[in-house]
Structure 1
């Protein structure tokens, strides 16, 4: 009689979710601000990159408003990967090393396989998000895509509350999926070189395990980015790198690593 399959014990360090407090997101922001102040040159480079992304988003809204939600999803996709250089700066500073621009550019080298898989999954979500956005516009504006002025009027027109509700629901659904999948997965890959599936599952575990704290963290990220867009998105030059550094500390504050009996691992310093 065939014996039932028993999976082998896990090898290597295992991720353990940390119990969080509602004040932790503020602590992550404070730690991110310290990293920003310690190495402003690196932050300035990435801040300018984020500002360029904001300008592209603004142009799309002015000329092709129906693609705005798709572009927002693209920014949510590109932003965390662009911030990987900032994660590396925070990682090196936590380890007692000196961050530099070169290491922030080359931190991808040892993680290309895992990052490529995660990019593929998030890109599929981004394409579905963009298609869903166009479908919502097509359903509610069957006489043609509205201009930028038309979109603004539609949002503030009480007769179009159904359009606004559906548009926000669709956008919120995909934004939640992208957020839950990437909130700690990218810094986790950088830190431990885990595979993309493990990193994404761990990220979902964090969000599901601490929903109140992670909703607050997502709200703070969104609110600070929105506030940084006025005037002329200049605030994003500072806020973007700040949130990048803070996101590293969010990962370090939510995921700890346990040694396994088979393969002891020296843990780094905790925040």
Structure 2
């Protein structure tokens, strides 16, 4: 492992090169974070699971909103996990904050977090509009029954061209957001920096470590989809794991 320093026009922040075993180290460290202070971590996971189930149940008859809610989760999760980053930071300092105390992390450099959150919200809105238009075209602009449409896509295997196009566009958008966000929120919270500097650092981290971070992205998607497959209750543990691991990714990547 060695360090790649920023150019003369950037902030003096170094980026470390990592190996392919790094994601497993981050997950192992995340598990230790949960064991150190389990109740706040699992409380976040339970909130994600219960809140997600309520949202999905309310959208089951609206296919474009249902698919947007599932896919859009990947776009906003980096910000939602802010409390988990705070728990990991506190453990490094030998502290064991309560759940309510970890929420105070969102007040640290709150303006920059709000600006970054606005960017994620605008990205999610763009994705929602694309999804809405795509489903409207698929249904011919008519009042297509949500359950029938989802059955055709998920069970009947129909509309393969639509599924392929939607998946490719979604993957490209998610990759873009991942590159911008992989270390941004932890860095904003930890260093009181502005969102532009944090996103620039995130892009440099991805450019310096494309292989290991591609593996990390695949693990995030796989574990999150595993949580969704268990009616979101797998997220009670998996979401804290990914949140804590993302903090350790930031710590290892950024000098």
- Residue pair 1:47, 1:238 contacting (<8 A) in 2 also: yes
Equivalent residue for 2:93? 95
Give the secondary structure class of the aligned counterpart of 1:130.
Answer: helix
Cα 1:72–1:84 change in 2 (3 A) is: same
Distance 2:134 2:30 in 1: 38
* Cα offset, 1:155, TM superposition: 4.3
- Please tell me whether Structure 1 or Structure 2 has the larger radius of gyration of its CA atoms: 1
Partner of 2:133: 135
Match of 1:118 among 113, 116, 119: 116
CA displacement at 1:124 relative to structure 2: 1.0
Matched with 1:27 is 25
Q: Is 1:251 the counterpart of 2:250 in the alignment?
A: yes
Aligned to 1:266: none
The question of 1:209 aligning with 2:197 is answered no
The aligned runs of 1:23-172 (5 Å cut-off) are 23-144=21-142, 145-155=144-154, 157=156, 160-172=159-171
Q: Deviations over 1:108-130 (max 9, x none)?
A: 22211101110111111111110
TM-score calculated relative to the size of structure 2: 0.88
Name stretches of at least 5 consecutive residues in structure 2 with no aligned partner: 1-6
Q: Distance in 2 between matches of 1:158 and 1:79?
A: 29
Q: In 2 relative to 1, CA 119–249 (structure 1 residues): closer, same or farther, beyond 3 Å? A: same
Counterpart of 2:3 in structure 1 is: none
What is the Cα-based RMSD across aligned positions, in Å? 2.3
Q: 1:92 to 1:146 in 2, by over 3 A?
A: same
TM-score (norm 1): 0.83
* SS class of match (1:63): coil
Q: Tell me, yes or no, if the aligned pair for 1:207 and 1:214 is still in contact at 8 Å.
A: yes
For the residues of structure 1 that align with 2:157 and 2:48, how far apart are their CA atoms? 34
Q: Does 1:196 align with 2:195?
A: yes
Q: Distance in 2 between matches of 1:94 and 1:230?
A: 33
User: Cα–Cα, structure 1 residues 232 and 255, in superposed 2: closer, same or farther, change >3 Å?
Assistant: same
Q: Given the superposition, is the C-alpha separation of residues 73 and 157 from structure 1 closer, same or farther in structure 2, using an over 3 Å criterion?
A: closer
More off after superposition, 241-250 vs 155-164: 155-164
Q: Partner residue of 2:226?
A: 227
Q: CA deviation at 1:75?
A: 2.5
Tell me, what secondary structure is at the counterpart of 2:60?
helix
